[in-house]
Amino acid sequence: MNVPLLLQHPHQHLLKGLLRTPLRRYHCIFRSSAHLGSESPRARPWDSPGLHWTKWPLLSDCLRRPLCVHTILKEHTEGLSDKEQRFVDKLYTGLIQGQRACLAEAITLIESTHKRKKELAQVLLQKVLGYHREQERLNKGQPRAFRVGAGKSTFIEYFGKMLTERGHKLSVLAVDPSSCASGGSLLGDKTRMTELSRDMNAYIRPSPTRGTLGGVTRTTNEAILLCEGGGYDIILIETVGVGQSEFAVADMVDMFVLLLPPAGGDELQGIKRGIIEMADLVAITKSDGDLIVPARRIQAEYVSALKLLRRRSRVWKPKVVRISARSGEGIAEMWDKMREFRDLMLGSGELTARRQQQQKVWMWNLIQESVLEHFRAHPAVREQIPLLERKVLSGALPPGLAADLLLKAFQTRTNEMYPTQ
């Protein structure tokens, strides 16, 4: 691990402190230089199960040694009880056999916040990833599923029925916004997709955001892997319909489709440059009846606007199409454009490269969440939070200064406990 490079991260001071602190959420096991053939840990881990850092003060030395991933996975599996092993095996076997109940139970497992269940979920995901690699090898290295990000339940209903009638298996991962007050979600996507929800070749899974930034749950990316393991060859991610969620979804799909209604009063003035740049295809919806004329006008304006933006791909130029989920106009042609995109991206190798980059992005997103969680749980920070929050609420202290004081408390206590050698 290149520590100087790691410390170029925006939260470099926080990460520097964390590197000096034994994290209780991760298990750092390394091969001993004297026993390269064995996979025994160099030091006894913390007592709680799962992944942890070693207890001994050898972190600076450990960072210079290669991480033995296979040993970690082996200990994870061997740490399961017989009952837990049977449970994971049952889910995995049922999942790859296409049993919808096992897929639903597997997604529920990865969404759980229970510590032990999260560890079981990681064991299951590792088995599914191994299955993925084998399937891609049999498919000459090409992915077997096509991931698409798009919103609007009405569109997904019609589009999904068209795909299943053509012999595809479709999975819809719909993300519903959670209430900030109660934490609850309506999870009403199935009620808006009545026909599709009864289709045995379609699987709809609504998930609450639980306040996650961007409206996409941290487990959505893992749910995609499970759906692909279940044999679904097209995965649709439906967003909550707010700007930040589009950015989050674009980082987990092969193709990002931006759906825009005509005559919304926003038009070109409201184009969010960043979101438009992320779009591989722009679809003007409700292109029927009295809205045909404004839809054509908006289409022309977006075609002109896209010419001014930097392209994400060397082989694909974003297109603008008009569709109607009520009459079905343009949806078959839209699917033709999507297949053209998939073929071009696969042929050029850009789709594989995009997926690899997305995995790295999501790794760092999860690291940031874990770092923040560890920071808030730090004793020095936990002691100061109530006082500083009260001062910020009363206006006696600006938020920026309060944040600096918390970071200072974290750094000071960490430096005292783990001085630089």
Query: Span 184-206, mean pLDDT?
Result: 74
Q: What share of the chain is helix, strand, coil (3-state, %, to 5)?
A: 55, 10, 35
Where does the pLDDT of residue 373 fall: very low under 50, low under 70, confident under 90, or very high at 90 and above? confident
What is the chain's length? 421
Percent of the chain with pLDDT over 70: 67
Q: CA end-to-end span of the chain, whole Å?
A: 18
Mean residue pLDDT across the chain: 76
Q: What tens digit of pLDDT does each residue of 335-345 get? A: 999 999 999 99
Q: What is the pLDDT of residue 30?
A: 37
Q: What tens digit of pLDDT does each residue of 64-89 get? A: 445 555 555 555 556 788 899 999 99
H-helix or E-strand spanning residue 379: helix 379-394
Query: Span 381-393, mean pLDDT?
Result: 92
Q: What tens digit of pLDDT does each residue of 404-414 get? A: 999 998 888 66
Write the secondary structure of 226-283 as one string of H (helix), E (strand) and C (coil): HHHHCCCCEEEEECCCCHHHHHHHHCCCCEEEEEECCCCCCHHHHCCHHHHHHCCEEE
Q: What tens digit of pLDDT does each residue of 113-124 get? A: 888 998 999 999
Beta bridge partners of 134: none
> What is the Cα–Cα distance from 214 to 252, expressed in whole angstroms?
13
Examine the pLDDT at 92 and tell me if it is beyond 80: yes
- Are β-strands 202-208 and 234-238 bridged in parallel, bridged antiparallel, or unpaired? unpaired
Token duo for residue 230: 């279940």
Nearest to 403 by CA among 7, 15, 11: 11
Q: Which of 91-100, 263-272, 303-312 has the highest average model confidence (pLDDT)? A: 91-100
Residue 284: partners with Cβ closer than 8 Å, 6 or more residues away: 260, 261, 262, 295, 298, 299, 302, 320, 321, 322, 323
Token duo for residue 355: 């997926």
| Strands ordered across the beta sheet of 202-208 | 202-208, 170-176, 234-238, 146-149, 255-260, 281-284, 319-322
Cβ–Cβ contacts within 10 Å for residue 304, how many?
Answer: 11
Type of residue found at 275: I
Where does the pLDDT of residue 273 fall: very low under 50, low under 70, confident under 90, or very high at 90 and above? low
Query: Span 82-107, mean pLDDT?
Result: 94
Could you tell me how many helices (H) and strands (E) the chain has, helices first? 18, 7
Phi, psi of 277 (to 5 degrees): -65, -30
Instruction: Decide: pTM greater than 0.85.
Output: no
Write the secondary structure of 152-206 as one string of H (helix), E (strand) and C (coil): CHHHHHHHHHHHHHCCCCEEEEEEECCCCCCCCCCCCHHHHCHHHHCCCCEEEEE
Q: What is the pLDDT of residue 52?
A: 39
Examine the pLDDT at 186 and tell me if it is beyond 60: no
Examine the pLDDT at 255 and tell me if it is beyond 90: yes
Examine the pLDDT at 293 and tell me if it is beyond 80: yes
Where does the pLDDT of residue 218 fall: very low under 50, low under 70, confident under 90, or very high at 90 and above? low
Q: What tens digit of pLDDT does each residue of 12-58 get? A: 444 444 444 444 443 443 333 333 343 444 433 334 343 333 333 33
Q: Are the CB atoms for 200 and 254 separated by under 8 Å? A: no
Examine the pLDDT at 153 and tell me if it is beyond 70: yes
